[in-house]
Amino acid sequence: MERMSLRKLGKSDLMVSPVGLGCWQFSRGKGLGGKQWPVLQDDEIEKIVSLSLEGGVNWFDTAESYGNGESERTLARALRKAGKSADEVIVATKWMPLLRTAKSIKKTIDKRLESLGGFRIDLHQIHLPTSFSSTQAEMKAMAQLVKARKIRHIGVSNFSAKKMRAAQDALSRHNLNLSSNQVRYNLLDRKIETNGILDTAKELGVSIIAYSPLAQGLLSGKFHDNPELIKERSGFRKYMRAFKSKGLEKSLPVIEAVKELAEKYLVTPAQIALNWVLQFHGEMVVAIPGATKPEQAKDNADAMKFKLTQDELDHLDEISSPFKN
């Protein structure tokens, strides 16, 4: 089977694997964000990271708000344990703008670097589009960090098409480009295709980083097979409409189509769903599924080992079209 190759992130010099590892689950129960996940032990985290690396994953996405830096520290320890140096992996993190001004971006950067313990910030992102400062002020602060060699490239997260354009306009005054916009995107949430985000990203040469590419595990099919499973889960999923009986009924045709292709390719339904996200728009979309178990990390990485045909991509596109709005 044909394997996917590295992709250029936006107009940067970063060459990333189509699948990265989302590291929110490394928060170790700390902070508000950490309460959404089970507390993982060091050996589990080390195995998740090592299996990701073995599977061809070369980049990791974390954030200041993931356990108040705990995810960053935990990731750095696991990478060192795996024998990796800053030159061998790509690390992305994020600044949390809530109740802050752009001045905080520069004030907190040394803390980010300290938490990452020797690993560079290859991509620094604005976590949310809401702060006490303008997008222009945030991008100016980010540009100053690039020039000071504190960070290498600049991204945003959850930005609308309008705010993404404003970010690029601001960066262009510093002869820099916006590399990425990290947004929720999967077969059961395709809003970026109709709200202008995807079209604007294509126009600007900005990569889309898809978070929640498996719809919080919904696309694995396990919750359709056994709806009682959701009651056992910690965190926010059990309260989401998609996991209620009507939500499961609406997504069932997509799950059935994914399962059918999984049988053909002798892979898991989750790998089919992830493969579609990585392929349907060429190379402009990369994904950062999380993993709370080593086998999930291997499963995610192995989604890069094959390619669905155009007919199969189009079939999943048609089946999932109700989720564009």
Residue 39 lies in a domain: yes
Point out which residues pair with 8 in neighbouring strands: 15
Residue 183 lies in a domain: yes
Q: 267: which 2 tokens?
A: 């892979």
Judge whether 66 counts as a catalytic residue.
yes
Q: What is the pLDDT of residues 189-226, one digit of tens each?
A: 999 999 999 999 999 999 999 999 999 999 998 989 88
Q: 281: which 2 tokens?
A: 């728009």
Residue 233 lies in a domain: no
Residue 293 lies in a domain: yes
The CATH number covering residue 125 comes to 3.20.20.100
**Are 180 and 10 a contacting pair, CB within 8 Å?**
yes
> Which residues neighbour 292 within 8 Å (Cβ) at sequence distance 6 or greater?
25, 37, 38, 40, 44, 48
Residue 245 lies in a domain: no
Give percent of the chain with pLDDT exceeding 90. 87
Q: How many Cβ atoms sit within 10 Å of the Cβ of residue 86? A: 16
Q: 234: which 2 tokens?
A: 């910690």
Tell me the residue range of the domain where 99 lies: 7-217+268-308
Residue 297 lies in a domain: yes
What's residue 32's pLDDT? 64
Residue 323 lies in a domain: no
Residue 236 lies in a domain: no
> Which residues neighbour 2 within 8 Å (Cβ) at sequence distance 6 or greater?
306, 307
Report the DSSP pairing between strands 21-22 and 15-16: unpaired
Q: What is the pLDDT of residues 40-90, one digit of tens each?
A: 999 999 999 999 999 999 999 999 999 999 999 999 999 999 999 999 999
Under DSSP, the state recorded for 232 is G
Give the span between the Cα atoms of 156 and 277, in whole angstroms: 19
Alpha helices (runs of H) in 8-84, residue ranges in sequence order: 31-34, 42-54, 70-81
Quote the pTM value.
0.97
Position 233 confidence tier, pLDDT thresholds 50, 70, 90: low
Point out which residues pair with 183 in neighbouring strands: 210
User: Is the confidence at residue 181, as pLDDT, over 70?
Assistant: yes
Give percent of the chain with pLDDT exceeding 70. 97
Q: How many Cβ atoms sit within 10 Å of the Cβ of residue 47? A: 20
Q: Structurally, how many domains does the chain consist of?
A: 1
Alpha helices (runs of H) in the chain, residue ranges in sequence order: 31-34, 42-54, 70-81, 103-115, 135-147, 161-172, 197-204, 222-225, 245-265, 269-279, 294-302, 310-319
What's residue 235's pLDDT? 65
